[in-house]
Structures are given as structure tokens and as C-alpha cells.
A and B are shown apart, each in its own frame.
Chain A
Amino acid sequence: MNVLIRVGLASCGLAAGAGEVQSAINAYLTRKKLKVPVRKTACIGMCFAEPLVEFVNDKNESITYGYVKPEKVGTIIDAYLAGKPLTENVVISNILEGAQNENYLSQERIVLRNCGKIDPEKIEDYLANKGYKALEKAITQMSPEEIIEEMKKSGLRGRGGAGFPTGLKWQFAHGAKSSKKYIICNADEGDPGAFMDRSVLEGDPHSIIEGMAICAYAIGSDEGYIYCRAEYPLAIKHLQIAIAEAKVKGYLGRKILGTDFNFTLHIKEGAGAFVCGEETALMASIEGQRGMPRIRPPFPAQSGLWEKPTNINNVETFANVAWIILNGADKYAKFGTEKSRGTKVFALAGKIKNSGLIEVPMGMPLRDVIYKVGGGMKTEKPFKAVQLGGPSGGCVPAELLDTIVDYDSITSTGAIMGSGGMVVMDTGTCMVDVAKFFLNFTQRESCGKCTFCRIGTKRMLEILDRISKGKGKLEDLDTLKDLAENIIKGSLCGLGQTAPNPVLTTLRYFKDEYKAHIVDKKCPAGVCEALLTYEVITDKCIGCTACARKCPVKAISGEVKKPHLINPEKCIKCGVCYDVCKFSAIKKS
């Protein structure tokens, strides 16, 4: 029986210790003189169970183990080779009961079709899975117009967040008259709480290259850029390898597959600026300038990079292209809802059990995404809200969990689909604090070009800060709303136009929580430090004096071996006593 061992070595796997697991497997096989090939792959999406190790035989029977520790690999390998595979910690399998089998099957993997299966550093793996067949079909059997028509028919909308129809965007760029056109892949995934693009770039870089090449042919471009944030070193490395291999095999370069189509691809590393996810700012950054947005029109399709017609799409959008060309627009359009076709990748994070990367058909209710695919809440605290769309998005409360995942339904809640970050929050999360967190982010990342965005977000942040310290007034809520509306109207780009969303949605659904901070001077979730009170639980205190010694303002008094006391007048609510107490004798409320 031929067996293959695959180890997931994407960023999250590596952070969880997959590198050590791989070394342990190799060392064990060498020591036991076993000839089992060990391959690397990237993200399969079950990040919560990393490190992951898969055993697969020539009958395609697969068992994936989670939470693998280096010291356990010997036992796992021995049992598997003896024909009695361990049943403990099986995450996914097609022959054994796996904890996540159902979860995995309820997904629809188009974008993630190869992620976690192939070795992203080997073009042969991609080719063995119909890789570059779509490019071949496109440039040898289809005209650019036919490709654009197919993309329009598929109903694919831009996955970067705004949801503009991809086929139409291509048509505009195709129609622009110029001897030079550019295409750009926006891989500047800056939303905190989102890692979809990173996983696709790390796990299946060729699918992006193939999608871009098809797009270039369709719009009549011969040069492209992938603008990737520098915080993703592994994604950049895999892209570099993939581009070099694609060149050698003749899928990039001159006279691709014997046709007259030429296409060169460059990687541009970002330098850390969230606003560069906005298309015109991104182009300014490629040109070597400060990444500040430009006024539109002219749209990039008429005048973009170096004032040439430019088509710009996001990573996930490009990853869909080859599948659509190969399988047909009709098959793609069968997934999803009338106005939002296909699937969507989400990055689940926060207080959810199965945090990781998933791909579901559009139209699935948020409740199913969180409770079925995501496995529900991680802690015992109940669900409070799910944050969609990062700093541009909003918080959807429990009563709206039956909202379905499509562009228009999510927009109607006040949040946005965004690029696909989904951060789940429980009752231990304070909504004022969340709004403050996002405003702090957008305020820092505002490029400063538009006055309302630059100063308005600052004023909003100051108000939120006041409220979180119990110094807010009820009128502040009206001022917040007023500022929010003006920032939306007075900003040139998406950053400013959406920056107030986290405040607006939390005000809409969690107004009582704001009022509790303002009127009762209380933070119901127990997060806002200035509103907390610390008390000694006398029954539990043994008088070890640890808190009294560490208190920076000497607010705690008491004799050795006798219960201590906190003086609320002196207490600055720093929480040190709570942290140092080994007997859980400090109550925070």
C-alpha cells in the first residue's frame, strides 16, 4: 500500500508548532528506516486544530489528525502502518468518524479547491489538479469577448468587499483604448481579523496567477502586479516560487502556449498602510508615492496605474476565475442567491469553537455559518454579536442571526460583506470598546487627505474614549451620529466612507450598552477598565500580601495572614491585584 503523509505548514500551522511536528516525523521515519514520503501543504482551514497531519493512501482514503504533538508522531505512524489507525483526534476523514466531517462536507470549496491538498511550492501538484487547463482553454479556444461574457454570466462579484460585478469591470477595461494596460491583484489584506487572502496565497498561488493571466488576455494587457502586504512573508515566498515555475513551464512570459499572448507578472510588497487596500491608493503606492486615494472618475479602467487603463481585482476574485472558465458559468451560478452567485470564503475568529477558514455557498444563514460550520461558541458565555467586514463593517446582533450571507442582505443590517472576516463575540465583549477599537484603527490609518476623515474620526474616537471612562453625556450619542453622517459624505475613498460603520451599527443594536456607560457609569461586559471596581473577597483572601506589595498606588492594606482591603478612593483600577492574586480573591465588577 502506498501511503503519503501531509503536514500543514501554513502560517498558522507553523505558529502552532507544525515545523517541529514535521521534523519529528522525518526523524522517526529515518530512525525506523521507513520509506514513507512526507509532503508539505498549506492551510486546510481547520486552524483551531493545528498542527494537522494527514495520512492518505493510493485509494484516496484519508485520515487527518489534529492537535498533533511531536512526541506523539511515532505512535500515530506505527498504528497507521499496522493497519489500526488511531481514532483519537481525527479531525477529518473519509473512512473514519472525524470530529469535523460534517462541517467539512457542508462547505462548497471552489476558491479553496486546492488549499490543504497540494504542495504550493510544486507546480506539478497544481497541474495534476487541472491546473492551467482553464488558461489553455481561454487563450486557445475563446475570444476575449467570450471570456468576458462567461464571467458576466457567472454572476461573480468582487470579493474584496464592494461586490462590483467582475465581468462588467473586465468589460470596461477591455473597452478602453490603449496600447498598454495593466492588471493588478489586490493582496493587501489589511482588515484586522481577516486572513482569507493569506491562506489562498500561501496554499494555492498558481490559481491566482492563472486567474490573472486569463483576465490579462480578456482585457488585452501584457503586464500585471500582485500587491501583497509585507506582513505575509510566506505568501510572498510562495508567490515568488510559483511565478518562477510558471515562467519555466511557459504559462507566463512571451508567446504563452504557442499563442501570441504575452504576460509578465511582478510582485510588489506593501509597506504597511491600510488605506492601500483602496484601489487608487494602491496604485499610487506601486508608483512609489504615499498611498493616498485619487478622485474618481477617471476610474482605473480608463486611467489607472501610470495613467494607463487598469483592471484591479482581489485575490479571492481571481481564485474563482479558472474554475468558472473550466466548469462553465452556469455551474458556478447554481450556487448562491439571485444577486450573489457562487461561494464566499470566510475567516472565522474570536470566541468561536472552530476558528479557521471556510467556504460556503452564498445564501447560507449566519446562524448556520457560526453554529454548524463554526461549531458554535468557544466559551460558556452566550453569543452577543458577529463582526463582519472589519473596520468598514459592523456588528450583527443575535436577533439578526437568520440574515443570509449575500451582499444585499448583509448591507441591510448596516454591516458589509467585506472581504470575509467574521469575528464572533460573546457577552464578555463590550460593544463600546469594540467601536472604540475600530475607530482607533481607522483614525490612525486615515491618510489625512480628506478633512472629515482625518479630524472627524479623531473627534469620534475622543467621544468614545470619554464614554468608556464614564465621562460621556447622552448628547454625545447624537454628536457621534452627526459626525458619522458627515464623515461618510465628506470622504473621498472607502476608508472614510465606511469608517463610522462600527459605531453606527453598535449604536443601532446596542444603544442600551452605551447608556449604561453614560448614565449608570457601568460597563455591563466588565471590559472598560475605568468603570470597574475591585474588591477583596474576604472568605478567599489568606493574607499573602502579594496584592498589597504590587499595588502601584498603595491602595491595599491589611495584616499578614488576614484578609486585605482595597481603598476605592485610592484605587486607579489598573487590575494588578486581580492579576497577581493566586487565590481568586479579588472580585472585578
Chain B
Amino acid sequence: MMKNKEKIDQVINKFIGKKGSLIPLLQEVQAIDKYLSKDAMRYVSEKAGFNLAQIYGVATFYTMFRLKPQGKHVIRVCKGTACHVSDANSILKAVRSDLHLADGEDTTKDKLFTVVEVACLGCCSLSPVIMIDDNTFGKLTPELIAGILKKYD
């Protein structure tokens, strides 16, 4: 049984017939569950009249689309140039080790956090920077990470 059918229907109705609407449509569908499930993509394909290959093509092209469930909070670790020269790697290491993530994992077992690396958050003057949901934390050192993550539950 497809989850959130009604909510997805609302999104489809909002965009149907409008040109160039596939990306914003998928963005809003993703906002419901925080990821695009196979079922959701199939459903959008049937209801909104997009070819499934086209939907999958768009969903895998843009980094904002996620095909796997994600944690309650998303931690974006900036790997931009300014952060890179300010040792963003040590920040990433600290985040991952504090959350006990094994190699290849990006979401904690309790589904509280998902860690992603991003190209640049545009807060270069405060490098190195991470963003948790919509909040940005700058001028970080590895020692500060545990204290920041502790505040989230």
C-alpha cells in the first residue's frame, strides 16, 4: 500500500499541466517523506504522466534527491575550497566518529542523523562550516563537534 497517497495527489494536482514542472514536483514529493521511494516515483509516473525513466533520470542527476530514507536531522559538512584549506576533513572525521558511522554509512542506526558532504554552503568566511537542518555553524574545530551534536534529539 502506497504511503501518503493523498499528499502526493495534492502535489501532482498543483503542478499538472504546467511546463517544466518535473523538478519542483519531485522536490515537493520528496519533502513529504524526506526521500523519493520507488513507490512514490512509480505513482508520480502513472498519475502525472511522466515516463518512469525520465523521473529516475532526473532523480539521480541532481544531488538533492535522495533515494534512501534519511535521518531526522541532516548534517551537511561543507567541503568547499575555503573549508578544504581550513581542514574540513578533520571536521568530517569528528562528525562521523562522534556518530559512530562505519565506512559507507551515512545514516545513524537510530535514524537521528544523516551526514552528507556538500560542495559549498557559501559561508566561506566562517570556514570550516557545517549546516544541521537550516542552522549553520562556523569557525569549527573537531573538539566543538560533540557539543553541537549533543543538542539535537
Contacts and interface: CB of A to CB of B under 8 A. Distances in A.
A207 interface: no
B122 A289 contact: no
Interface in A13-70: 14-16, 47-48, 50
Q: Which of B20, B79, B90, B139 lies at the interface centre, i.e. has the most chain A CB atoms within 10 A of its CB?
A: B20
Given A15-B137, A288-B23, A349 B122 contact: no
Interface residues of B, number: 42
A85 B133 CA distance: 38
A233 B123 CA distance: 13
A287 B11 CA distance: 18
A306 B64 contact: no
Interface string B58-70: 1001111100000
Interface in A280-295: 285-291
Contacts of A233: 134
Contacts of A198: 122
Q: Which of B26, B80, B125 lies at the interface centre, i.e. has the most chain A CB atoms within 10 A of its CB?
A: B125
A351 B85 contact: yes
A350 B58 contact: no
Q: Which of B24, B57, B58, B62 lies at the interface centre, i.e. has the most chain A CB atoms within 10 A of its CB?
A: B62
A288 B61 CA distance: 12
B125 A192 contact: no
Given A14-B136, A269-B27, A387 B81 contact: yes
B138 A12 contact: yes
Interface stretch (A173-181, A251-259, A271-279, A467-475): A271-279
Contacts of B80: 192-193
A192 B142 CA distance: 21
A265 to B, nearest CB: 15
29 contacts: A12-B123, A15-B126, A16-B126, A47-B126, A189-B122, A190-B120, A192-B82, A192-B84, A192-B119, A193-B120, A194-B124, A195-B122, A195-B124, A195-B125, A231-B121, A232-B122, A233-B134, A268-B24, A271-B64, A272-B63, A288-B23, A288-B58, A350-B85, A423-B124, A425-B85, A429-B85, A434-B84, A445-B119, A447-B61
Interface of A: 11-12, 14-16, 47-48, 50, 189-195, 198, 230-233, 268-274, 285-291, 306, 347-351, 355-356, 387, 390, 421, 423, 425, 429, 434, 437-438, 441, 445, 447, 579
Given A271-B23, A349-B81, 17 more contacts: A11-B122, A47-B126, A191-B120, A193-B82, A195-B122, A195-B125, A230-B27, A232-B122, A233-B134, A273-B63, A287-B19, A288-B19, A289-B58, A347-B124, A350-B85, A429-B85, A437-B81
